């Protein structure tokens, strides 16, 4: 009969303990995934007129602790949230000239090398009846920490809708505000961009 050394016994015990901890962690969180019906809007200014782009593709997921999932009010542990938005999905609402504006935006955001906007939540804290979300936003390959107010709302079918907004500067992400020319008229774009989103998620199957 083969005997097990003390070292092997301790190693096995630690492995089992680690497995148990992992199971409890998995059982204690609820994963939600992106659903159709999400929207993100970017708004800015120019010397000719204000501009707006809208996208209907927000990918990603979030993992909530069971207590937060139950009431969406008390946060004991910040959720794990990762969001991805394809740059190509953002479409200008200018008419006519929308396709040309899209092309200008994609060029300035260096879409060829950085085709996605990414966001990762670092901390979520209650504030003024809402939540303050602190996380990293990556645009055009540049990552910055941003803070913004967000809300979590239970909607039809047990889904969760997350809404929020923030204002960023293009130059903070090494993006030069576009100065395109249309019909012989030069347009100077403002540096500030307001981002508003409604992110619809449902429990992972």
**Is a pLDDT exceeding 60 seen at residue 12?**
no
Give residue 110's pLDDT: 94
Classify domain 29-203 by CATH number: 2.40.128.110
Residue ranges of domains in the chain = 29-203
How far apart are the C-alpha atoms of 137 and 116, rounded to whole Å?
11
Summarize pLDDT for 80-123 with one digit per residue, the tens.
999 999 999 999 997 777 888 899 899 999 999 999 999 999 99
């Amino acid at each position: 009969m083969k005997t097990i050394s003390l070292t092997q016994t301790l190693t096995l015990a630690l492995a089992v303990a680690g497995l148990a901890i992992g199971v409890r962690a998995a059982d204690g969180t609820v994963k939600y995934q992106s659903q159709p019906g999400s929207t993100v809007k970017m708004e800015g200014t120019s010397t000719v007129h204000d501009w707006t782009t809208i996208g209907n593709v927000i990918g990603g997921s979030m993992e909530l602790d069971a207590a937060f999932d139950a009431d969406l009010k008390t946060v004991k542990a910040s959720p794990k949230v990762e969001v991805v938005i394809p740059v190509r999905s953002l479409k200008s609402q200018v008419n006519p000239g929308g396709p040309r504006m899209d092309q200008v935006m994609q060029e300035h955001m260096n879409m060829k090398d950085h085709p996605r906007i990414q966001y990762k939540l670092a901390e979520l804290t209650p504030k003024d009846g809402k939540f303050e979300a602190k996380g990293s936003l990556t645009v055009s390959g540049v990552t910055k920490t941003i803070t913004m107010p967000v809300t979590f709302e239970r909607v039809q079918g047990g889904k969760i809708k997350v809404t929020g907004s923030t204002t960023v500067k293009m130059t903070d992400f090494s993006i030069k505000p576009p100065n395109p020319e249309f019909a012989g008229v030069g347009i100077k774009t403002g540096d500030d961009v307001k981002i508003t989103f409604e992110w619809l998620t449902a429990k992972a199957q």
